[in-house]
Amino acid sequence: MTNALHEILKTSQKANGIWGQQGDEGAIEITCLALLALRRETGIEMDRAVQVLQDLQNADGSWPAFVGDEPTGCWTTGLAVLTLLAAGNRTRALASAVHWLVNAKGREANWFWRWKFQTVDKSVEFDPAKYGWSWVAGTLSWVIPTSFGVIALRQIRNRGLNFDAGVTERIDLGVSMLLDRTCPGGGWNAGNGVAFGVAYSPYIDATATTLLALAGYEKEPAVQTSVAWLVKRLPGCPSPYSLAWGTLALAAYRDVSQEVEKTLGRTTNELTELIYRATGTGDLCTVAECALAQDAVEGDNVFEVRA
């Protein structure tokens, strides 16, 4: 089944060497996920895709979301770093990307916005001194971009590739932001756990990516309640994309309890069934995520951050 998913990805590679949806020249997210899923493949097509990904890097070390975007960094930079690491790439491109990640900040890092959220704007309930990364430059921190930023920098540190002296401090700040934004009862929404006095509901993909970033922080109450929420919520999920992300997260926490291990077995079977029914295989991100989830169940999780 994994081979079949790989074939879908390989035959979907564009003429320019990378991946994208119909109608675009190429998307960094899809390209990175495809390369991560195909990381054991060898040959000129894979080498070309890695080279094109490096060529698309902005002058400041970041990556755009799509080919032809304006040369300003966005959330895909963390994902690109993970991809270059998986490809065994330790070039100048990786060093400049890490420098960008260390220095990129959500808008609440600015003193004015911090003052605003601490004094006059009470519509959201979070600590603005704890910030992560944004989807695009000049906006507030969001959960998924921050999760990828933390995962990328933790993998850099674990490999001893400390290109920037601020890596550990930036990891700690991103982790503190994620722990601060937990939804009441566990899990993570796209941004805040509470806004306008209303508790937001968690999302499976946001919760899964955050738990992957926080592996090793199992003693944190926010992590414990979020693992419990995912164990309860994930079985029966009809979306192969969300089910794959959830399976990736459970695979990283399988040693926490027998309940997690049992749920992982169930969701793996459910994901397998969805793939056999070809549910979601028209979306390349879903195809790549399903392949990565299968690898994680077998003990090879590309988002692993434990040293």
Instruction: Provide, rounded to the nearest whole percent, the portion of the chain with pLDDT above 70.
Output: 92
The confidence score (pLDDT) of residue 121 equals 58
CB–CB of 80/18 below 8 Å? no
Higher-confidence residue of 100 and 193: namely: 100
Check whether 214 has a pLDDT greater than 80: yes
**H-state helical runs in 120-239:** 143-158, 167-180, 204-213, 221-233
Average pLDDT rounded to a whole number, residues 128-155: 91
The confidence score (pLDDT) of residue 1 equals 85
Closest Cα partner for 178 from 162, 195, 191?
Answer: 191
Rg (Cα) of the chain, in Å, rounded? 19
User: Can you name the residues that pair with 203 across neighbouring β-strands?
Assistant: 188
Give exposure, 24-52, as e/b (b: 16+ Cβ within 10 Å). Answer: eebbbbbbbbbbbbbbeeeeeebeebbeb
Q: What is the dihedral of CA 12, 18, 20, 24, to 10 degrees?
A: -120
Average pLDDT rounded to a whole number, residues 208-216: 98
The confidence score (pLDDT) of residue 88 equals 86
Who's near 157: CB < 8 A, 6+ residues apart?
167, 168, 171
In tens, the pLDDT along 143-156 reads 999 999 999 999 99
In tens, the pLDDT along 257-289 reads 999 999 999 999 999 999 988 766 679 999 999
In tens, the pLDDT along 90-111 reads 678 899 999 999 999 877 765 5
Average pLDDT rounded to a whole number, residues 124-146: 85
Would you give the end-to-end CA distance of the chain in angstroms? Answer: 30
Domain boundaries, the chain: 1-104, 109-215, 234-299
Model pTM score? 0.93
Closest Cα partner for 34 from 16, 54, 12?
Answer: 12
Contacts of residues 265-273 at CB distance under 8 Å and 24 or more positions apart, as own/partner, are 266/235, 267/234, 267/235, 267/237, 267/243, 268/293, 268/294, 268/297, 270/235, 270/236, 270/237, 270/243, 271/240, 271/243, 271/244, 271/247, 272/1
Average pLDDT rounded to a whole number, residues 217-224: 97
The confidence score (pLDDT) of residue 24 equals 75
CB–CB of 66/27 below 8 Å? yes
The confidence score (pLDDT) of residue 182 equals 95
In tens, the pLDDT along 17-72 reads 999 987 778 999 999 999 999 999 989 999 999 999 999 999 999 999 999 887 88
Check residue 23 and give left, alpha or beta (phi > 0: left; psi -120 to 50: alpha): left
Geometric angle at alpha carbon 171, from 167 and 176, rounded to 5°: 150
